[in-house]
Structure 1
């Protein structure tokens, strides 16, 4: 009988370690990155996860861990099978945040920072934001540059640093038609000169060469498939672009479903990452040919 409390504490600590390791794995973060997200020292987290210890965290540490991944304290301790925090059950599954049509894209940047180092997979309506020149951005977001051009460029640089200047894995997927529209100056890009379109294609070629293979681009054919724009940040959150807003999904099953959809899109892609540079060169030749006519 005297050993029962010890066995109970051992069982609780074992469940705590198992479930904490599970949420760290699901987050796609390293232990150090997860510790930073929770506001803990990496050494503290390592001690808590040590199999040699029956130690349980202090209440404030336990709450910080639970808040970091939106799970309940009771679930972490094995006292409940209800993983989500009951008071935030709906919000932890999905929520809507406004999109202000700003070159900064605050929602994207916040999610990228909150999931530091996590693999980003993005389906976009046109060429990826990682590639756009200032001329292209001024054309696309003319209202933002008109109101405060210095602020707009600062925001652009911050966003591009996430996708281009970091070493995190990034996969971008969009339609082949969106690139043809850029080359031909059609659709959104109507009114851009051939020179500006060539400069944009040169930027794409240069930046892709700098980042490949940690940056990969896949192009699908709209005659074969379609996708609404969405972004995946590791395995913890997905953001669906709805035009005036983002729908953020945090439930693991939703994130997995969108990840499977991304996998399907890249299997259907008519331009694979290793073919992308030659495709851009062909577009440049097309622009130059049209300009000479």
Structure 2
């Protein structure tokens, strides 16, 4: 089961994502990134974080330790932003904490240009994402970190943020365990991920017993409000059944088509051109910084 800790000091909000997690210290002397139950993404995002994160760790992928954090909004009374205080006020009690990786860097397209990734490791990560229907690890939003960045230990890839995974649990009645999703723009597609070998290695390890052990770590309160199930245990069995059926159907959804970097660049250019086509003239002159370093933009059009 997940370790339970109590938040003792609120450090700051993190605004890199829409859920506005908070950085806190806890009574075990650890520092955690806390995702709150009251965030706009809802409790199903926390369910996905636990199931996918713990599955990643069970399969030997690098993912920070998760803990359950008892959070009292009073420790963050000095937070100056009203919307963050309101988030805290509706999140009293048990929330989800992820071990903080100090100094970690985002795995951006610029970092990807110079950071080596083994096709075997890339294949395992892509396979996990395809299994858990995590479509939010793309070239523009990798949800990967490079850590450590200081000292003598070599930097490694770490997985983070799986709240957008398990998309099937938003519409159980329409879910299909054999459905294939588009992973052509996966953040690690450029590394020739060996997904077939990953399937042969990892699929036999995703057993019903493992899935039951992982879903048992999800707090009852995060499952109790699901209208599709009468009890939290019934919801857990649904996750177990879906993921186990999906593992057995991997031949139907295994992603193997990953375009080269040049192809992706051409696709992005065409997409940007289509986006600009319908804009008024003044808006066409606004640079598109999505996924590109600011230094690469031509700002001369704004200088007269």
Shared fold, TM over 0.5? no
Larger radius of gyration: 1
**Which of structures 1 and 2 has the larger relative contact order (alpha carbons within 8 angstroms, sep 6+)?**
1
State TM-score, norm by structure 1: 0.27
Q: TM-score scaled by structure 2? A: 0.26
